[in-house]
Amino acid sequence: MMFEGAIQDLIDELGRLPGVGPKGAQRIAFYLLAAEPVDVERFAATLRRVKDEVRFCRICGNVTETDECRICRDPRRDPSVICVVEEPKDVLAVERTREFRGRYHVLGGAISPIDGVGPDDLRVRELMTRLADGTITELILATDPNLEGEATATYLSRLVKPMGLIVTRLASGLPVGGDLEYADEVTLGRAFSGRRQVD
Ligand SMILES: [Zn+2]
């Protein structure tokens, strides 16, 4: 069954969002229809602000509303260690463990030949630029524990090996095939402190 006009448009828009099925889209649409105008207005304004104000950190690729993100600006963070992750949400996952005091590099995805994603589609060149001046001594590859994440880690470790820095990979124990963000803090924290050198 289809509704008409704006309500159906809204259901269609919501249905395109990740993790929202047709039933969920309908539920959210009717929830918004019944909500107070002021609440819906705030929601709409937030959507617009996200596109207008949020951008990616010039240095690490994390989300930020300024040129450089909070972590890159923080002088207390160790500039000699970089943790490479796929997405900004992974930065949050690692931060929650409180095991890491270095900086990050967000790739913006993982190598996936099936989806047509290669190194040039990720922020690999930016990473190499950061490594060039010799400040960074350790690179922690914290890509997701799945096929694409492993392929990306292998690619990067081979790429940076000639630069002579320590390259580590998170210890096993993470749920295989999943996303970094799905690991609980304790498990991820343990994987972090038990990281092993890639040879
Ligand atoms: Zn940053």
- Find the farthest-apart pair of alpha carbons in the chain and give their distance in angstroms, rounded: 62
Could you tell me the distance, in angstroms and rounded to a whole number, from the CA of residue 73 to the centre of ligand 1? 7
**Residue showing tokens 């690490």:** 60
Q: What is the pLDDT of residues 17-53, one digit of tens each?
A: 989 999 999 999 999 999 999 999 999 999 999 999 9
Q: What is the pLDDT of residues 106-132, one digit of tens each?
A: 999 999 999 999 999 999 999 999 999
28 alpha-carbon distance from chain centroid: 26
Both structure tokens of 40: 């819906």
Cα dihedral 127/184/181/151 (nearest 10): 60
Query: Model pTM?
Result: 0.81
Could you tell me the distance, in angstroms and rounded to a whole number, from the CA of residue 61 to the centre of ligand 1? 6
Could you tell me the distance, in angstroms and rounded to a whole number, from the CA of residue 47 to the centre of ligand 1? 23
Could you tell me the distance, in angstroms and rounded to a whole number, from the CA of residue 50 to the centre of ligand 1? 18
Could you tell me the distance, in angstroms and rounded to a whole number, from the CA of residue 154 to the centre of ligand 1? 24
Beta-strand pair 81-85/63-64? unpaired
